[in-house]
Structure 1
Amino acid sequence: MSHSSLVPFKFEFDEDGTVTVWQTSEEQTRRVEDTSYRPRMYVTTTGPAAPSRAETAGLLEELPLVDAVSEVQRRPSWRRDSESVLAVDIDGPPSAVSRVARQLHTWETPGTYRCFNVDFSPQFRYCLERDIDPTPPSTLPTLSLGVDLMDVSNPPLDSIEIDGTTHTGSPTEILDRVTAAIDERDPDVFVVDTAELVPTLFEMADVYGYDDFTLGREPGWTQLAGKSTYTSYGRVGHSPARYDIPGRVIVNRANTFFFDESNLDGCLDLVERSRKPLQELAWASIGNVLTAIQIREACSRNVLVQWKSWRPERFKTMRQLHEADRGGFTFAPDVGLHEDVHELDFSSLYPNIIVTRNISPETVRCDCHDRDDVPGLGYSICDEPGYLPDVLEPIISDRDEIKDALAEAATEAADPECIRRLEGRSAALKWILVSCFGYQGFSNAKFGRIECHESINAFAREILLDAKDVLEQNGWEIVHGIVDSLWVTPMSDVEQTPLPELCVDLSESTEIRLEYEDAYDWIAFCLMRDSEAGALTKYFGRVRGRNEYKYRGIECRQRSTPPFVADAQRDLIETLDTHREPEAVCERLQYWRGQLRRGDVGPDELVIDNRVSKRREQYTHATRNVAAFERAATMGLDISPGESLSYIVVDDSHETADRVRLTAEAGERYDTAFYDNLLIRAAVSVLSPLGWREQRIRAYCAETTRTTLRSFASK
């Protein structure tokens, strides 16, 4: 096999600037050293008192980390033409670029020096500057290693899961098993439950004299980043420590969005689009990958990427401010149980608005037009093609083709492996499209702009309201609508135009495909928990023709709900479907409550999985999370904000660690009253569309003396 069939997929950096490039194919893997690579940043100066380019170049050349400075032609922003800027080549690893930029920002007054192409992740930077496609073969050999978090926190390990099979034994036997699996598989990718497994295995090898133990293709391991806590959209998250081993990619299940939401094929699709190598893409956020795709487009247009973005809003009138702050379209749900309901969805509404309306940071409120293009806002949109539509259009088109292929596969005896690959790619692209709208309003977005965010919302409102008018004029009543979806039911005593026909007409008039998503025998829209208003995203219903139910926003869809309660709620919905009577649901509820009282529920079915938002000492109230924190501390577990705690409530009357028990601890006891309250809450969600709230449900359950089969028989 020729070396040309080898594909670069992993890149490692030494402090002296040497890059080790690992290349793979279906038959072999090899390493190549690149000693000539010099990461590059760009610098311009602004302000009347700013030094000239020549003076700035002279100052930069004196810095010890700077290898060379030259003048090149680049565009400092999307709205500017090419001009002379300074290209600064760094003598060191990619991390040295930020050090130079930070030092430069200490010179002169803030804003005098503007730095570009600074904060790229190392492997992505290398591929971008070397014009390398790091997409490996889809047959990439992979090895999965699973371990319990409790075991990693209290080494040595006495068990480990390798490719789904659990192995137990002494520490040296565990190391033998891992070594044998590596020798047999020679993986390019490790998929681990927690990256802490890497230092744990090496420490075990040191303690027990297991000579020459290695996980990589060469000895040793490196910590790339420590663990950290972050806040995103008001939600606290946890980023675990990241580790590296020579010649192999580590995918940490505790720190990977795309691998969990899609699969390896979905990740590799995004690697090809973003040029972000697999190891970096695995831990990257949606916005991080979207930014990488946008940076590739910027580079193709000779546009630099500003380091610290600063985009002041343009002046707006009071009317514009009022209209711009309205957000997306919502049509309050008609609370209740509705029969013969149809769901219609605009396919990728916001991304398609961006593409069809040419919305981009450099096109909205351009300087070359003075028109009222954006409904209600009066913004103009330039006729020149925007970069953001060029970024999104291939993603939208490819996902539409994948969805069509999946629909075709569903009608024939398709290869399950082919379906799995298509589903992975579709899921990965979906998340990129989902994020592109919100990213325009994100203050730290490299290429975001609030006017784009406002324009997308304005077009979305107009499209949904126009669709509502057309549907109502053709005999269809709107029972709910939100963002890009509408639920309709036939008007009584009015002739209806067939929905497929209306979908075609609306798709043509809006230039965005309106899809007939589902038909429901019935659908129920829930009340908000402490209000008489309808909840926008809480509903459930029976899908017509598929003998299945759809659940959205209710307890059985919530991550923290114990499996027992989720199963009970789904069963109550089936009971409602069968009998359509609140009384029948309450009687069935008694069956589940009886299981609790008799102690017939296994501990695994009562686990609550909650994400903690603060450190233990920062909590001021004795919550269940605090109790779980305290138990974790006594067991040697270091839980950081953003991580999850899994526990069972054993005595909710306590305010100490005795209130809960972690899932890793043995025991069968649980607090019956606490879990009974969770069952009642789940029943309220099911019966609130019929007007029954908690007080009425409890009263019926307490007063009824009639015993029926539903109250004790299992299904």
Structure 2
Amino acid sequence: MVLTIDFDDEQVTEWHLAGDGVEARTITDYRPTLYVGAPVSQLYGKEGGQTPDPRMPRRGALSASLQEIRSFLDGQEAVVDLCPDVWRQTFRTSFRPVLRVECRRVQDVRSVARRVHQFGDPDEHTCYNVDLTRQLRYTLETDCDPSPDTSIRELQTLRLSFPAHESELSALSKLRVDGELVGESPKEVAAAVADRVNENDPDVLIVDTARVVPLLFEAAEKYDLQPYSLGRESGYTQLASASTYTSYGQVGHSPARYSVPGRVILDRSNTFFYSEAGLAGCLDLVERAGLPLQELSWASIGRVLTAMQIREARSRGVLVPWRAWRPEFFRSASTLDTADRGGTTLAPEVGVHEEVHELDFSSMYPNIIREYNVSPETVRCGCCDNAAVPNVGYSICERDGYLPDVLGPLIDGRSEIKQRIRESDDPDEVARLESRSSAIKWILVSCFGYQGFSNAKFGRIECHESINAFAREILLDAKAALEAGGWRVLHGIVDSIWVTPAPDVPESDRRPLNVIAKEVSEEVGIELEYEGAFDWVAFCPRRGGDGGALTRYFGRRRGEEYPEEGLGDAVKTRGIECRQDDTPAWINRLQATLIRTLDETHDAEAVCGVLREWIERLEEGEVAPEELLIEQRVSKRVERYTHETVTVAALKRAKWKDCALAPGQRVRYLVVDGDARGLGRVRLDHEALRSYDEGWYRAQAIRAAESVLSALGWDRDKIQSALSMASIPTLERY
């Protein structure tokens, strides 16, 4: 059970928790391994080419092509050993001989794989287990448990706070250690940080930006603070440079990554799971995914899911392809038309509806995968003749798929955690359990979409299509059952459905929702849960159109109390401004207040009266500029934007201020003159913020109010007209 793993040229160091600190274990005989096999195109036959029993090993000699590769690699400095081995190259094929290549160092694996591809005809061989991350590779190949043994002691953390926009040595005076300033000059700060790290001996360094690591070592070198250490030994390693990537159509930015000996560096600017689930959630995923904490801290959801799949594949004797190659078997045009669709979505009835009930299928997509044995190697397996996938007609193998085995423990684990949350009255325990539940939730939410992702190691588009096909049928079955039971369906989207009593059905003839939900659950094999009752739900229209917006609604939960400020759990919101990341805090609070006013008065004019009071305070300069900051993700370099928006002005100003942002990073700014041109339109969040453009923010306030009132038929013009009235309605009037 390791905390972290460090790699040197000729050795590996494992760091284990101990009662009084850590224990370092040096490994000198570790040899990272890749495999070379036959081209995948030769392994498939009709439909899937699955052999009668892929579980039975089949031994034999290496092919002539693999023998030539063996001779080519023999004697090369990066290669330690070459020998035949027996593995399955895919889930659909049997065990067969492959060439096992043991390398001298981790960094040699990719270079050896490139040489293999450059040798002879690249279509005559396929490389496996090439692009595994370093620590995951080590734990897989050595059967080392990547979970730190917290039964010995809890992990110790130390927080280094540093402004994200700073990169100069002189800015080190702004660095804080656990919230405390530790020096007035770079030399004082570098020395103080090293002293505090040595004194506290943390296991995890939590940094706002990993740029602070090389900056501290630069200061130590400049001011002769040698030897300098942030780890349990001196020095640091840059693991990766900063990069920009695109995922699901969204541009992201991956900052440079660093490591220090014996400690985990957790970069808050580059960690999804820590921000969503905290350290407790991360540690839970380390145990479930087998991905060491250092790598899990910066990993995406897909990478964590891939780690789980890799471990399951290895347990089944399946190698991990370097470059995924998945054949799409022939499909007719009609099959493509039927299969290439998403989940069922019903157009919502625009308006405010009373006595609304929401029902959700519990973890629908993961449960479809488990209940119906949907997995990349089971769909259109070629060995089973059935039409298991509704409407599409794909067959599904009778043998257990690997994907249900990966997701099953997560589904059951989250259900168990949620049950423990309901039973616990300890706030600290509840917080830890909620962190763990949140971490698992993100894996389950993404497992379906990842099957259709082109870079997924084991994904397959037919698997993605089959899951959607089951989901469409299940929601339509639920809709039919609810309508037959005397309920009117207001909206349905993928795994959720909203109903209200049908006006033409007497209450005595209406069947209870819990009874219908139980029957549907038993029929489809997935639990249809009663999510809750709403006093009212407002379904918003599309902006500029008459139809209902699919994901823009809000509703008052029955029996929930409002907190002192905001909406809390009393109101469920989706798609409106207060749910959007780029909405200023003041607009968030305004919209929450307008929704509360609508709930209390049921009157649009009263809502406009409150809106007018807030706008008057805005126009009188009573709103703190910090509450009006906007945060936007940068999708491309500033030079590539063609429209001069306020966000583009902010990017240009950031470049002018020598803190240019790469695509995928975020910029925070205040609009000070929306009608101006150039850099003067905005101020960045780290500049002096004194004034703002009242007119620009007034328009944003009216837009937020329109989202609240649009379900009542009020548009922006009508709201503007109401604001111009001389008198302001008060709540006492109602």
Q: Same fold (TM over 0.5)?
A: yes
Which residue of the other structure, out of 152, 162, 165, is the alignment partner of 1:147?
A: 162
Percent of pairs with identical residues? 51
- Number of the residue aligned with 2:427: 416
- Number of the residue aligned with 2:726: 705
**Secondary structure of 1:340's partner?**
strand
- Number of the residue aligned with 1:673: 695
Matched, 1:237 2:252: yes
Task: Give distance in 2, aligned partners of 1:583 and 1:395.
Answer: 49
Task: Give distance in 2, aligned partners of 1:37 and 1:678.
Answer: 60
Task: Give distance in 1, aligned partners of 2:71 and 2:167.
Answer: 52
Bigger mean CA deviation after superposition, 397-406 or 627-636: 627-636
**Secondary structure of 1:71's partner?**
strand
Closer, same or farther in 2 for the Cα pair 1:26/1:286, shift >3 Å?
farther
Which residue of the other structure, out of 424, 438, 460, is the alignment partner of 2:471?
A: 460
Which residue of the other structure, out of 86, 89, 107, is the alignment partner of 1:95?
A: 107
**Secondary structure of 2:522's partner?**
helix
Which residue of the other structure, out of 8, 12, 15, is the alignment partner of 1:22?
A: 15
**Secondary structure of 1:631's partner?**
helix
Task: Give distance in 1, aligned partners of 2:514 and 2:192.
Answer: 58
| Counterpart code for 1:405 | R
| Counterpart code for 2:34 | M
Task: Give distance in 2, aligned partners of 1:476 and 1:710.
Answer: 35
Matched, 1:13 2:7: yes
- Number of the residue aligned with 2:550: 536
Contact 1:25-1:136 within 8 A present in 2 as well: no
Task: Give distance in 1, aligned partners of 2:578 and 2:182.
Answer: 33
Matched, 1:120 2:127: no
In the TM superposition, 1:186-585 aligns within 5 A as: 186-409=201-424, 414-492=425-503, 493-495=505-507, 496-547=510-561, 548-585=570-607
Closer, same or farther in 2 for the Cα pair 1:148/1:156, shift >3 Å?
closer
Matched, 1:645 2:667: yes
Q: Shift of residue 137 of structure 1?
A: 3.3
| Counterpart code for 1:701 | L
Matched, 1:76 2:89: yes
- Number of the residue aligned with 1:661: 683
| Counterpart code for 2:103 | I
- Number of the residue aligned with 1:609: 631
Q: Shift of residue 683 of structure 1?
A: 0.7
Contact 1:623-1:655 within 8 A present in 2 as well: no
Q: Shift of residue 119 of structure 1?
A: 0.5
**Secondary structure of 2:477's partner?**
helix
TM-score, structure 2 as length reference:
0.92
Q: Shift of residue 644 of structure 1?
A: 0.5
**Secondary structure of 1:456's partner?**
helix
Contact 1:336-1:525 within 8 A present in 2 as well: yes
| Counterpart code for 2:685 | T
Bigger mean CA deviation after superposition, 642-651 or 498-507: 498-507
| Displacement over 6 Å in runs of 4+ | none
Closer, same or farther in 2 for the Cα pair 1:25/1:481, shift >3 Å?
farther
**Secondary structure of 2:288's partner?**
helix
Contact 2:69-2:119 within 8 A present in 1 as well: no
Task: Give distance in 2, aligned partners of 1:564 and 1:549.
Answer: 18
Deviations 1:171-222 (A, max 9, x none): 3443354234323321110111100111122222233343433211111111
Matched, 1:592 2:614: yes
Deviations 1:231-270 (A, max 9, x none): 1111111000001111110000000011111011111111
Contact 1:132-1:275 within 8 A present in 2 as well: no
Unaligned 5+ residue runs, structure 2? 43-62, 562-569
Q: Shift of residue 162 of structure 1?
A: 2.4
Q: Shift of residue 72 of structure 1?
A: 1.0
Task: Give distance in 2, aligned partners of 1:577 and 1:497.
Answer: 29
Contact 2:32-2:138 within 8 A present in 1 as well: yes
Q: Shift of residue 488 of structure 1?
A: 1.1
Deviations 1:39-80 (A, max 9, x none): 0111013499x8433222111214331111111111111111
Q: Shift of residue 612 of structure 1?
A: 0.9
Closer, same or farther in 2 for the Cα pair 1:528/1:214, shift >3 Å?
same
Closer, same or farther in 2 for the Cα pair 1:678/1:472, shift >3 Å?
same
Contact 2:13-2:24 within 8 A present in 1 as well: yes
Task: Give distance in 2, aligned partners of 1:144 and 1:661.
Answer: 28
Task: Give distance in 2, aligned partners of 1:639 and 1:500.
Answer: 52
- Number of the residue aligned with 1:636: 658
Q: Shift of residue 699 of structure 1?
A: 2.0
| Counterpart code for 1:280 | E
Contact 1:346-1:515 within 8 A present in 2 as well: yes
- Number of the residue aligned with 2:60: none
In the TM superposition, 1:49-64 aligns within 5 A as: 51-64=64-77
Task: Give distance in 1, aligned partners of 2:428 and 2:382.
Answer: 51
Q: Shift of residue 154 of structure 1?
A: 5.9
Task: Give distance in 2, aligned partners of 1:154 and 1:28.
Answer: 32
Quote the RMSD (CA, aligned, Å): 1.8
Closer, same or farther in 2 for the Cα pair 1:372/1:667, shift >3 Å?
closer
In the TM superposition, 1:120-139 aligns within 5 A as: 120-138=132-150, 139=154
Q: Shift of residue 168 of structure 1?
A: 5.5
Contact 1:614-1:641 within 8 A present in 2 as well: yes
Contact 1:21-1:31 within 8 A present in 2 as well: yes
Contact 1:153-1:636 within 8 A present in 2 as well: no
Contact 1:596-1:672 within 8 A present in 2 as well: yes
Q: Shift of residue 562 of structure 1?
A: 0.7
**Secondary structure of 1:263's partner?**
helix
Task: Give distance in 1, aligned partners of 2:286 and 2:107.
Answer: 22
**Secondary structure of 1:158's partner?**
helix
Task: Give distance in 1, aligned partners of 2:149 and 2:266.
Answer: 17
Task: Give distance in 2, aligned partners of 1:643 and 1:35.
Answer: 40
Contact 1:441-1:448 within 8 A present in 2 as well: yes
Matched, 1:44 2:26: no
Task: Give distance in 2, aligned partners of 1:161 and 1:416.
Answer: 29
Task: Give distance in 2, aligned partners of 1:13 and 1:707.
Answer: 69
Task: Give distance in 1, aligned partners of 2:219 and 2:634.
Answer: 30
Aligned length: 699
**Secondary structure of 2:674's partner?**
coil
Q: Shift of residue 112 of structure 1?
A: 1.3
Q: Shift of residue 166 of structure 1?
A: 4.7
Deviations 1:606-645 (A, max 9, x none): 1000111111222222222221122212322131111011
**Secondary structure of 1:377's partner?**
coil
Contact 2:634-2:667 within 8 A present in 1 as well: yes
Bigger mean CA deviation after superposition, 537-546 or 158-167: 158-167
| Counterpart code for 2:473 | E
Contact 2:170-2:186 within 8 A present in 1 as well: no
Q: Shift of residue 167 of structure 1?
A: 4.8
Contact 2:370-2:404 within 8 A present in 1 as well: yes
Contact 1:154-1:636 within 8 A present in 2 as well: no
- Number of the residue aligned with 1:618: 640
Bigger mean CA deviation after superposition, 444-453 or 505-514: 505-514
